[in-house]
Structures are given as structure tokens and as C-alpha cells.
Amino acid sequence: MKHLAEYRDGDTARRLAAGIGKIVTRPWAIMEVCGGQTHSIIRHALDQLLPPEVELIHGPGCPVCVTPLEMIDRALAIAALPGTIFCSFGDMLRVPGSHGDLLGVKAAGGDVRVVYSPLDALELARRHPDREVVFFAIGFETTAPANAMAVRLAERGGVKNFSVLVSHVLVPPAIAAVMESPGNRVEAFLAAGHVCSVMGTLQYPPLCDRYRVPIVVTGFEPLDLLDGIRRTVVQLEAGRHELENAYSRVVTEEGNAVARAVIADVFEPCDRTWRGIGTIPASGWRLAERYAAFDAEHRFAVGGIVTAESPLCRSGDVLRGAIKPSSCPAFGRECTPRTPLGATMVSGEGACAAYYHAGRFAADREGRR
Amino acid sequence: MSDDRPDMSRPACPSPLPHHDRIVLGHGGGGGLTRELIEKVFLPAFTNSVLADLGDSAVLPAAWFSSNGGERLAFSTDAYVVQPLVFPGGSIGDLAVNGTVNDLAMRGARPVALSAAFILEEGLDVGVLSRVVADMARAARTAGVAIVTGDTKVVERGRGDGLSITTAGIGLVPAGSRLGSRPAEAGDVILVSGTVGDHGMAVMSVREGLAFEAPIQSDSAALHGLVADLLAASPDVVLLRDPTRGGLAMTLGEIVAENGIGIEFDEGAVPIDPVVASACEILGLDPFQVANEGKLVAVVPAAGADAALAALRAHPRGGKAARIGRVVADHPGLVVARTPYGGTRIVPMPLGEQLPRIC
Amino acid sequence: MCLAVPGRIESIREEQGTRMGKVNFGGVVRDVCLAYVPEAVVGDYTIVHVGFALSRIDEESAIETLRTFAEMGLLEEGLAEIRGEAPLDEPALCPLPPAEAPRR
């Protein structure tokens, strides 16, 4: 595919990685904020190309991982209601709530469907006027324009049986939370290119200044990521802390003004609990008052939700970069991809699941020596 | 019934049967409706002398077994469910024949006869059933295998998935076959017979909520001919598997688990159709975990690997065959992929159905 | 967090007042909402996330980025900066993209 294949060249990747080795003089801890970056790094084993001085810390930018337990439980309760079609991105179906997951609700008779786009959920609502169609509107800034448009089109089209369960989260407050968390080791960030395609980059220079930390906006292909890492190392070694845009083919300083206007119409800022991390002020979006009729939280009175997080799970510490997944006492014992205690163990891009597979290999090699 | 006497086995008034364009419960009741279904739909499609008998079991002529140099019988069964029932490049009918034929072929057997049991949901469009049955008949003819016995049941509407099929097959393993005579061991070479992921993405392309337009066809095909050519050129093939559900990752995972070995393969060497790769990109799926219905994975001794690969490539079903990796003594139980960047990663066995992701 | 894939816009239409289009992703064609890229025209590449085009891909920036990757000069420049020197090579032939590349 054009605009993908060019950024996957093996020789250039090795050259970029070797270049990082030539400029690095001491250990640096760099956090890739976004789950998509983590996925690409693990999928292509890019971390193995880097010099030992460069440590990558997997950040909290996986909406599946940070969606609060209370919201998952609410989703499970709504999905189980008779007459409801509950639509979700595929990622969310295996995320554990206090008691089970969406796949379990489906097995027990709930009508749970995977959709590719919120517009597909809206279309289902149009086709099934006798059913309540609920869309689980999770995601970072990247997904917000899509979710906002679905709500707008539902309003314009008078689709009254459509509603959204909103759990949006935002990147800049998360970067601030990471920098302010006790024991923080992160010295530079790879910021998420697709978030910035919507939001632009103007939110980031103040963070660079306040925390004296370099932030480089990157794409998601191997060469994009390696170039982003190279640029952070250049800054770190030079003692600079600036915003750089290494994804200029997609990201502009101003971002997508049309999309931001629709977001501002449909959503409003709110405090948001991040699973495993806690409440971060002004770190999320919820439906604006004017669209309250489309809010599944209002429409479905599913009370009595008592959340119960596994007492063993330390995914919050992992998401903040405070511990490595393998430092969690439950890692690989009570908690495996087959029996995940926390969301970070669920999908391949979750930091714990990623470590689980890679770690097993490393441990095996260790054992043979 | 060739004389002019009235047929008293049926009502004298005009039969309502021909007006049914949907399956009703009575089609599974064993009475007249069932017989009508068998005579109108199944028999014309599956026509052969053994089936025409319509006895309680198929009685196969001994010559079917003795005349082919067969030494041992292979016997396999598989149940088929898929949504939608018809997809680009095939239908559940193709899968039901080719899947069981391939299970036999993976043990080196030439398929001889199949059974087919149908569970139909009340309300199923008879046209869909006829299409599926026609696909089965065509697949069986192509594979040179006879469908010799069968059964039909109907379940109430809402209690079935439209249509599911269970087939069982028997096949003959030629005398002197050495397939599976030793476990896979370090140094063996891994071959794959062609592009991976085609079937799963063809089905995905027409699934509700995910549909996209792409010229992707299911690869559903019988592989015993390919296997016969492979074994003729390379009789020391260690083992064969068809990477169906869970794809290449599942099959390699099973091989390492069962043989106490490790496998290392080169990601870049695995053939993938570019459009299938694109479809996987947009849905966030791993092509190594996507199902195939007309491909095989072969573990062969290093010494015979070139001959084996040449034999696969010489066959119409194996033109894009490739050497993708090798068996290693390191990391037993693990499949490791070497990326185009020189790194390695663990390839886990898929946990369940792959779900499209957004992150 | 956000799987977004580049594709080429094949056609644009209005559907119930919303700008929609067919986008081709390496041979796979899907309906995509183009409401957020009013400037995009048929033939443009766009980044698509969950059925929505979020950004028009800037071909000049893409070419420049690739040219930069292809050259080894960028490594020397990085080294030079750390040593407090001016870049060794005049970057006229293969400049690094500026921190915020201007858009057409």
C-alpha cells in the first residue's frame, strides 16, 4: 500500500537504528504514548534494533486498557438488556469487567456486535427501529470526530433509538500525569501522530517547557518510529526539550479544524478515571448537555454497579511506566493472556500481553544458558 | 412406479411441497417432505450408485479399497459452520467437502467416500440450500470423491444458524507411505503451499458491519492431488497440516507443541496476496492468524526441501509455495518470527476468533 | 491507540447532506466519511480511522521524509548537533523536514 510500504524498508530501518547507536552516550527512557506505537514496535521487534541505552516504556495510550472498570461494567449491564443491540469496536470485547466481558454477555444471549465504524452502528439503528442500538464510544482524540459525527447524524436524522456510551480520554493530560507521578522515569515522549492529525501540535510545546521533556510526534510505521526515537535521542543528548513533528505528511500544527469544531459541539471536557491510574482532571470528553438525549448513561438506568478490580493487578503502575509488566507479582502466574486480570494483558498491544510473549522467549533463552 | 396406477403413498390432492421455497420443520421429519427434499435436492446433485441405494448405511464395494494400492484406512470427521453461508469464492458446501478431504490428505490419504449430515434451520431459503448442495457436488466431483450417505434434520427457527454441515470421510493411505514416521526435528524445513489469509478475509469482506469491496476469493480447494505430487517427489516429508482456523500461527503453534521443538520463520518469506494484506491492515488483523481452506504447511527434511518445494510449485494449487522457516532446538514450544528488520518476536497461538481492532 | 490507514479517494458524493466517498486501500474499497477533509479531491491520499478521513496526506512532505530516510546525512547532522558543531553537509540536496513542515 502506498504511504505504508515505503516506511517499512528493512535496510533503512537498520541504518536508522545504527545511527541511534552512534549518537547515544548514556541511558534514556522514552515513552511511546500510544498503543498503536507499542503494537508496531512489538510487531516489528523494533526495540531489538535499538542500542541498549535506549529503553522504551509503553505508555497509557491504549483506550481499551484505560477505559474505567465502572464504564466496562455499565457496558456489560446495558448489553445484557433485552431488546438492545450493543455495538463495539472489536478491541473491547475481551476486556474484563468486574464480572466477565462483552463476549460473555454475548454468549449469555446479549446481542453484542462488532462494528468497524460508529456509522455502522448508526446504520443498524436505522435498520432496527424497534431495537435500542447502543454504541460504546471509547477512544482518544483520534476516534472522537467519528463518534461525534455519529451522534450529530443521529440527531439530524431523528434516529431516536441510537445512543452512545461515551468514555473518551485525552493525551496531553496523560502526559502531564505521567510526568507528575512519583517515581517517574520517563525522559522523552513519542506523541501519537493520529491524535495530532485531529488536534494539531499546539498543545505540546507547553508540556515540553513545563516538564523539560522532548516530545516528538511520530507515525506508526517502523521507519517513522525509528526516526522519532532518533530525534528524541538527538534532543536528549543535546539537552534540548522541544516539540518536533516527525509525521509532517499527516500532521499539521493546526490539526483538523473542521473535526475539532464538531467535537466541540458534541462533547465537553470532564474529569475521567483512567483504569489502573486514577482520576485525571480534565482528561476526558463526555456528551455535551445539548446531546444528552443520546447519552446511554441517561437512557438506561443500570444502577447498582459495584466495581471489583483484581487486588493483584498492577496495570496502573505499568501504564505509568513505574514498573515493568514482569515486576508485577501476578504476571505470568494468575494473570496471562488466557486469564487476564487487567486490560493490559488482553490484547497484543497491551504492555503486559506484549511482555508476556516476548518475556517467555527471553526466559527460555536464559534457562538454556 | 412406472405403471399407471395411482401413487397412494402421497395425497391424491395436489401436493403442497413444490410451493415451499423455505425449509419447514417437516423437511426433517423423515416423512414425505424429507423424501421430497432428498429426491429433489440431494440425489440429483450427489448422484452415485452407492447413494442411490438409500439404505440405512452406505455399502461400499471392496474394489474401491483393494484396487488402489491402499494399505491403511484414514477416517476423519469435521463440522462446518460459517456466516455468511455463501462468500466470494465458495460456500459452506465447498468447505464441507474440501475440509474433510484435506484432513484425509494431510495424513497422506487419497479420499474415497464422504458422508454428509445437514442441520437446517426452519425458514432457510431452499435456493440457498440448493446452491450449497450444488457446490458440494461440484467440489466432490473435482476431488474425485463420492458422497455416499447422509442425513437431514431441521431445527426450529432461531435455533440454528441457517445451515450447518457435518461430513465424515474415509481415505486410503498408500502402501509404503512414510509420512509421520518420525517427529519433526531440528534442521527440518517449513514449507507453505501458497498465500495465506485468503479464505478468512474473503468471508470477512461480506460480514455484516465489516463489509468492504475487494477482489479476494476464498482459497477453498481439495489438496490431495497436491499432496500426492509432493509425496511422490519427496517421500520423506515429516508432516503435513492444513492451516485452517487460527491460520498459520495456530498450525505452527500446534506443531511445536506436539513435537517438543521450536520453529523460526521468516515473516517476509510467507506469501501474502497484497489485497489480503491491505484488508488485514485496515481491520488491524494479523494475516498469520487468518484462516485458509486450500493451503498446507509441510515439514520436510532439509535434504529434500528443494525437491519438495519444486513439486509443490509444479502443481496448480502450489504455484506460490515458499520455504518460510525451519525447525530449531532452541525455545521448544515456541514459534518465533524473524522480522524484516532483523528482530524476532514470539508468534502466539490465537486465543479465539480474531476481532478487528482500532488500536 | 489509533489504527489509521492511508487510502486513495476514488469518488466523492453527498449522502443525506454528508460528504462521503469511496476510498481504495491497496485494492480494498470502503465507504468513508469525508466530512472532515473538505479540501480533499479525488486522487488525494487520506488517513482513515474507523471509517473517517482525518487528514489529507501531503505528498511533498512524504517525499521529503523518504528522501531524508534514504540519505545517511541525517546521522552526521545529529552527531554534529551534539558536538555543538554546524551540520557537516550543506543540507540543500536533502534537507531534514523542518520541525513543523509548512503545508501547501
CA distance B183 to B185: 6
Same domain (yes/no): B193, B98: no
Cβ-in-10-Å burial (0-12, 13-18, 19+) of B226 comes to buried
How do residues B210-236 score in pLDDT, each as one tens digit?
778 999 999 999 999 999 999 999 999
Chains in contact with B via at least 3 Cβ–Cβ pairs below 8 Å: A, C
- Going B92 to B93 to B98 to B101, the CA torsion angle's sign is positive
DSSP one-letter string for B71-99: EEEEEEEEEE--SSSEETTEEHHHHHHHH
What integer pLDDT is reported at residue A347 of this predicted model?
Answer: 66
Q: Is C98 contained in some domain?
A: no
Three-class secondary structure of residue C29 per DSSP? strand
Q: Give how many domains chain C has, as a whole number.
A: 2
What integer pLDDT is reported at residue B222 of this predicted model?
Answer: 97
β-pair partners for A114? A88
The CATH number covering residue B248 comes to 3.90.650.10
- Beta carbons of B156 and B190 less than 8 angstroms apart: no
What integer pLDDT is reported at residue C86 of this predicted model?
Answer: 43
What integer pLDDT is reported at residue C92 of this predicted model?
Answer: 33
- Beta carbons of A342 and A96 less than 8 angstroms apart: yes
Q: Among B174, B208, B240, identify where a domain stops.
A: B174
Residues of chain C positioned with their CB less than 8 A from the CB of A168: none
CA distance B283 to B285: 6
- Greatest CA span in chain B, whole angstroms? 81
Residues of chain A positioned with their CB less than 8 A from the CB of B209: 87, 113-116, 120, 124
Same domain (yes/no): B132, B281: no
- Helix (H) or strand (E) run with residue B70 in it: strand B70-80
Q: Is the peptide bond before A329 cis (omega within 30 degrees of 0)?
A: no
In whole numbers, what is the pLDDT of chain C averaged over residues?
Answer: 77
DSSP state for residue B213 in the 8-state scheme: B
How much of chain C is helix, strand and coil, in % rounded to 5? 20, 35, 45
Q: Is C95 contained in some domain?
A: no
Q: Give how many domains chain B has, as a whole number.
A: 2
- Beta carbons of C36 and A70 less than 8 angstroms apart: no
What is the share, in percent, of chain B residues with pLDDT greater than 90?
68
All three cell numbers of A101:
466481558
- Which member of A42, A43, A349 has the closest CB to residue B359? A349
Whether C1 has its CB under 8 Å from any CB of chain B: the answer is: yes
Higher model confidence: residue B262 or residue A38? B262
The CATH number covering residue C41 comes to 2.30.30.140
Single-letter amino acid code for the residue at A12: T
Q: Which CATH superfamily is domain A1-309 in?
A: HypD, alpha/beta domain 2 (3.40.50.11740)
Question: How far is B197 from chain C, CA to nearest CA, in Å?
Answer: 15
Kindly identify which residue of chain B lies nearest to residue A350, measuring between CA atoms. Answer: B359
What integer pLDDT is reported at residue A363 of this predicted model?
Answer: 47
Question: How far is B217 from chain C, CA to nearest CA, in Å?
Answer: 13
CA distance B238 to B250: 18
Contacts of B62 (CB under 8 A, 6+ apart): none
- Beta carbons of A185 and A145 less than 8 angstroms apart: no
How do residues A305-327 score in pLDDT, each as one tens digit?
788 878 888 888 887 778 888 88
Single-letter amino acid code for the residue at A206: P
The B residues from 262 to 281 touching A (CB cutoff 8 Å) are 268, 274, 277-278, 281
Q: What is the ipTM of this complex?
A: 0.91
What integer pLDDT is reported at residue A338 of this predicted model?
Answer: 80
Question: How far is B330 from chain A, CA to nearest CA, in Å?
Answer: 8
Residues of chain C positioned with their CB less than 8 A from the CB of A2: 6, 8, 26, 45
Same domain (yes/no): B163, B271: no
Single-letter amino acid code for the residue at A167: S
Three-class secondary structure of residue C22 per DSSP? strand
Same domain (yes/no): C51, C74: no
Question: Mean pLDDT across the stretch B268-276?
Answer: 97
Burial call A90-119: b when 16+ CB within 10 Å, e when fewer: bbbbbbbbeeebbbbbbeeebbbbbbbbbb
pTM of the model: 0.88
β-pair partners for A269? A285
What integer pLDDT is reported at residue C95 of this predicted model?
Answer: 33
Q: Among C34, C56, C78, identify where a domain stops.
A: C56
Same domain (yes/no): C20, C45: yes
In degrees rounded to 5, what are phi and psi of residue A305? -85, 115
- Beta carbons of A2 and C45 less than 8 angstroms apart: yes
Higher model confidence: residue B69 or residue B149? B149
Whether C86 has its CB under 8 Å from any CB of chain A: the answer is: no
Q: Is B351 contained in some domain?
A: no
Same domain (yes/no): B169, B51: yes
The C residues from 33 to 72 touching B (CB cutoff 8 Å) are 48-50
Same domain (yes/no): C69, C36: no
β-pair partners for C13? C20
Q: Is the Cβ pair C25, B278 closer than 8 Å?
A: yes
HSE-up of B102 (CA within 13 Å, CB side)?
A: 26
What integer pLDDT is reported at residue A64 of this predicted model?
Answer: 84
Q: Among C56, C76, C99, identify where a domain stops.
A: C56
What integer pLDDT is reported at residue B207 of this predicted model?
Answer: 86
Q: Which domain holds residue B42?
A: 19-174
- Which member of A140, A149, A252 has the closest CB to residue C1? A140
- Beta carbons of B97 and B226 less than 8 angstroms apart: no
Kindly identify which residue of chain A lies nearest to residue B348, measuring between CA atoms. Answer: A357
Burial call A181-210: b when 16+ CB within 10 Å, e when fewer: beebebbbbbbbbbbbbbbbbebbeebbee
The A residues from 330 to 369 touching C (CB cutoff 8 Å) are none
HSE-up of B177 (CA within 13 Å, CB side)?
A: 26
Question: How far is A369 from chain C, CA to nearest CA, in Å?
Answer: 36
- Which member of B278, B284, B359 has the closest CB to residue C27? B278
Domain ranges across chain A: 1-309, 315-368
DSSP one-letter string for A203-216: TSHHHHHHHT--EE
What is the share, in percent, of chain C residues with pLDDT greater than 90?
59
Whether B212 has its CB under 8 Å from any CB of chain C: the answer is: yes
Same domain (yes/no): C42, C77: no
Instruction: Please give the angle made by the CA atoms of A6, A16 and A200, to the nearest 5 degrees.
Output: 65
**Four-point Cα dihedral A94, A97, A103, A104, nearest 10:** 140
Q: Is C102 contained in some domain?
A: no
CA distance A48 to C39: 41
- Which member of B282, B284, B357 has the closest CB to residue C25? B282
Q: Is C34 contained in some domain?
A: yes
Residues of chain A positioned with their CB less than 8 A from the CB of B210: 114-116, 120
Question: Mean pLDDT across the stretch C10-29?
Answer: 95
Q: Which domain holds residue C82?
A: 58-90
Single-letter amino acid code for the residue at B47: T
Does position C77 have pLDDT exceeding 60, yes or no? no
CA distance C51 to A135: 15
How do residues B149-206 score in pLDDT, each as one tens digit?
999 999 999 998 899 999 999 999 988 888 988 999 999 999 999 999 999 999 999 9
> With a cut of 70, which residues of chain A have pLDDT below it?
347-349, 358-369
Instruction: Please give the angle made by the CA atoms of B333, B338 and B343, to the nearest 5 degrees.
Output: 110
Same domain (yes/no): C49, C63: no
Of C3, C8, C10, C28, which to mutate for an interface test with B (greatest number of B Cβ within 10 Å)? C28
Contacts of B19 (CB under 8 A, 6+ apart): none
Three-class secondary structure of residue B33 per DSSP? helix
Instruction: Please give the angle made by the CA atoms of A221, A274 and A290, to the nearest 5 degrees.
Output: 95
Question: Mean pLDDT across the stretch C55-69?
Answer: 93
Whether A128 has its CB under 8 Å from any CB of chain B: the answer is: no
CA distance A265 to A261: 6
What integer pLDDT is reported at residue A349 of this predicted model?
Answer: 62
What is the share, in percent, of chain C residues with pLDDT greater than 70?
67
